[in-house]
Structure 1
Amino acid sequence: MLLSRTLLLKAEPAGHLHSLDELFALANEMEQEAATNYAELAEEMKRQSRPDLCAVFMELAAAEREHVESVTRWSQAQRGKAPDPALVRWEAPETFDAEAATELKTSRLITPYRALAMAVRNEERAFAFWSYLAAYSEDPEIKKAAEAMAKEELGHVSTLRKERRKAYHREHDRMQGVAASAVDARRLELRLAEQLADLQQNLKGPAARRTGELLDETMQMASETSDFGDFREDMERKDSAQIAEALVEAYLEGAERSDDAARVEKLQRLAERAISRLAWLRSLSASPCG
């Protein structure tokens, strides 16, 4: 069980806590950082005129600020003072997924469900972090406090999972209204293959060869997707980067929602290849030389 929790973290904690004062200081910093990050995402969504996502991130930021206040009250009750930032001696492993947050800022296809899925993963990492510290602490007082923090984070995970499930059902219900005019992933992969063929003709050298390789792989992926996915019919009229991104999102969401191990593995493999393809298309659009 400890191994599975540790694997949620990108790296093991850089040190051990030597006092409750250090624990409260570190917990306070982590919650403050999460609140700031979600507030920044809310501002970015507001700038992009995406009120639904702005509302999601504002709520997440508010929840994290409540966690900050909770840690402060706990510190005052236990130690008679607020957490002291000066006592943070080492950085905690990343529990807030900065890479996913950057993706959210640039993606044109992100939904409230995907935003909440990221928040769930962040809380799961925080749970793993405190569980790890509790397991390795030799101080009974610190162990007990770290276990309490882990339990608190697990409660946050449960709450966010419920919100994520609601978001999924809202998005699913909206898709039901366009089901008759939906296209599947195979059809979208084939459309993307057409666009890659056109793109290849306008490229030279290594760029043309790499695009040709992606064209072959896209045709292979089209044969593997079967009848998976429901996309709006107008997605076929989008540009290659938008189609590629929509397919990435679909494979990732499909893997996350499925309970079938074989299907999850298949969709994860498709997602990995789709992500690589999307990265290439984005690099082409960012390069002045093509």
Structure 2
Amino acid sequence: MPLLRTSLLSAEPAGVLDSLDELFALAHAMEQEAAKKYDSLAEEMRVQGKDELADVFTRLAAAEREHVDSVRQWSQSRRGKVPDPAMVRWEAPAALPPEVAAEVKTSRLMTPYRALAMAVRNEERAFAFWSYLAAYSHDPEVKKASEAMAREELGHVATLRRERRRAYHHEHDRAGAEAPQAPQIDAQRLELRLAAQLGDMEQRLSGPAAVRLRDIRQQAIEMADAAAGVGSFPASVEHMGPLEIAEALVDGYLDGAERSSEAAHLERLQQLAERAIARLAWLRSLAAE
């Protein structure tokens, strides 16, 4: 997915990975850095007396340390050794850009929802990073492992988006209870609306971007078949732009999967969510270009 870069990655990676040892070293360093950043923010929030936010960042740091352990175990099983920091040749995308960390520390408007939204974007950046490396890798083993890392990051995105959704409902339950119920539509209708919008966008593009957009439009049509009767969205969402519709569909699939108790239905929603998350990340990158 070589076009997936600009809005999620501030710059293209400095090169490609030449070996699994290098891949494991870089992945290990990225997860460690993220854990340190979240630990630092948790401590800062405690100092400021913002215990609810401190708890959010403490959970995020703990999750990143689990990812560190996972990479270490993967390296041990594949290469017979733990990742070597000396193998990291160039700087990976920042786990938390300095301007974002500064906003967390100084903003009076920071809430658990906004903190989790920031974490979602960080994981989306990691997904974009590994997708880019997979697309440009010359080594089949490195390519396969990079694709696996990208899938892992998609799983992290899904988990954080669920937590973000819960935080949103927690912050807005009262307002939602008082608001009148708007007409609702299902995910199938939104997928078809998105496909139509992507078709219009495709006419204005050329080259690889147009080809990728055509693929995503066809994917939306296919996803619509599987999304019949899924979700309940305000009809007004249908009149929003493609980014907003794509975002709503991600949340709808994740919410549905969280509530599902039937195995086949759960698997279908998880597959839809994974495809929708990857689509959203790419559309955000395209929007920035």
Matches within 5 A, 1:59-98: 59-98=59-98
CA shift digits 1:136-179 (9 cap, x unpaired): 00100000000000000000000000000000000002556999
Structure 1 segment 1-290 matched on structure 2, within 5 A: 2-175=2-175, 260-261=240-241
User: How far apart are 1:62 and its partner, in Å?
Assistant: 0.1
In the alignment, the residues of structure 1 paired with residue 26 and residue 174 of structure 2 have an alpha-carbon distance, to the nearest angstrom, of: 42
Look up the SS of the partner of 2:4 in the other structure: helix
What's the offset of the Cα at 1:15?
Answer: 1.3
- CA distance change for structure 1 residues 2 and 18 in 2, over 3 Å: closer, same or farther? closer
Q: TM-score, normalised by structure 2?
A: 0.61
Percent same amino acid at aligned positions? Answer: 69
Once the two structures are superposed, residues 34-54 of structure 1 have per-residue CA deviations (whole angstroms, 9 ceiling, x without a partner) of 000000000000001111101
CA distance in 1, matches of 2:148, 2:154: 10
- Which has the higher relative contact order, 1 or 2, with Cα contacts under 8 A spaced 6 or more apart? 2
- What is the TM-score when the length of structure 1 is the normalising length? 0.61
Distance of aligned partners of 1:258 and 1:120 in 2 relative to their CA distance in 1, 3 Å threshold: farther
Question: Please, which runs of 5 or more residues in structure 2 have no aligned partner?
Answer: 180-236, 245-289
Query: 1:109 Cα shift?
Result: 1.5
CA pair 159-262 structure 1, distance change in 2 beyond 3 A: closer
Alpha-carbon separation, structure 2, partners of 1:46 and 1:8: 29
2:287 match? none
**Which is higher, the Rg of structure 1 or of structure 2?**
1
Return the letter of the residue paired with 2:4: S
1:7, CA displacement in angstroms? Answer: 3.7
8 Å contact kept, 1:10–1:94: no
5+ residue gaps in structure 1?
180-256, 265-290
1:70/1:130 Cα in 2 relative to 1: closer, same or farther (>3 Å)?
A: same
Query: Secondary structure in 1 aligned to 2:90?
Result: coil
One-letter amino acid of the counterpart of residue 14, structure 2: A
CA contact (8 A) 2:128 2:150 kept: yes
Deviations 1:8-54 (A, max 9, x none): 10000011111100000000000000000000000000001111101
Q: Secondary structure at the match of 1:129?
A: helix
Question: What is the total number of aligned residue pairs between the two structures?
Answer: 187
